[in-house]
Amino acid sequence: MDTRERLVESTRELLWERGYVGTSPAAILERAQVGQGSMYHFFRGKSDLAQAAMERTAEVMKQQIAADLLGPGSAYERISGYLRRDRDVLKGCPVGRMTLDPEIFASEPASEPLEEMFSWLASAMRDVLEEGRRAGEFSPELPAQQVATALVAVVQGGYVLARAAHEPARFDEAVDGALALLAAYRRPQR
């Protein structure tokens, strides 16, 4: 891994672990095992590096989610697969956690990759739900956009519930509830 990549990957890890405020340039340099000049050779400063790291995190997440949502199976099975995917729920969502950081929230440019990621996710889920509706898997009354947004909220809320209770099972309860609600729109398969 070259120096720029080590900086970006180290920042991604630290942002997920500590948030923006808790991630110092010194910690980034130590984790990446590079000198201060290296950071400023590739980036204007911490905010520029953090922006690159958040964009990378969103891109990696999109690839993982697309693999779940575009894989084989019915629409319900693919959404269930995404929701039930193995996660470190007590660590939280690397994108969702950044939305809680006051400096990221206060900066529109810094929060753009986060908003874009969640919009993309809701659209991808909506597309799968609409596909299921067109295929007759779901009732025509299924409000695809609203349900997709609710499913994104369930995942993010599930992280919060699990972290608050220090109990991963709370995430699973939220997912089970969401899938039970979605199942109410399923049509019997012939």
Read off the pLDDT of residues 114-172 as tens digits, 9 standing for 90 and up.
899 999 999 999 999 999 999 999 999 999 999 999 999 999 999 999 999 999 999 99
Q: Whole-prediction pTM value?
A: 0.88
Could you tell me if residue 6 is inside a domain? no
Could you tell me if residue 46 is inside a domain? no
Give the pLDDT of residue 42: 93
- Cβ(37)–Cβ(45) under 8 Å? no
Could you tell me if residue 131 is inside a domain? yes
Closest CA to 95 of 163, 13, 16: 16
Could you tell me if residue 26 is inside a domain? no
Residue 88 half-sphere exposure toward CB, CA atoms < 13 A: 6
Give the pLDDT of residue 113: 85
Indicate which CATH number applies to the domain containing 148.
Answer: 1.10.357.10
Could you tell me if residue 47 is inside a domain? no
Count the domains in the chain. 1
What is the domain range of residue 89? 54-183
Q: What is the mean pLDDT of residues 1-28?
A: 92
> Does residue 44 carry a pLDDT above 70?
yes
Could you tell me if residue 10 is inside a domain? no
> Does residue 190 carry a pLDDT above 70?
no
> Does residue 181 carry a pLDDT above 90?
yes
pLDDT for 56-105, tens place per residue? 999 999 999 999 999 999 999 999 999 999 999 999 999 888 888 888 87
pLDDT for 131-147, tens place per residue? 999 999 999 999 999 99
Could you tell me if residue 93 is inside a domain? yes
Give the pLDDT of residue 185: 97
**158-165: long-range contacts, CB 8 A cutoff, minimum separation 24:** 158/89, 159/89, 159/92, 159/93, 159/96, 160/92, 162/89, 162/90, 163/89, 163/90, 163/92
Give the pLDDT of residue 103: 82
Could you tell me if residue 74 is inside a domain? yes
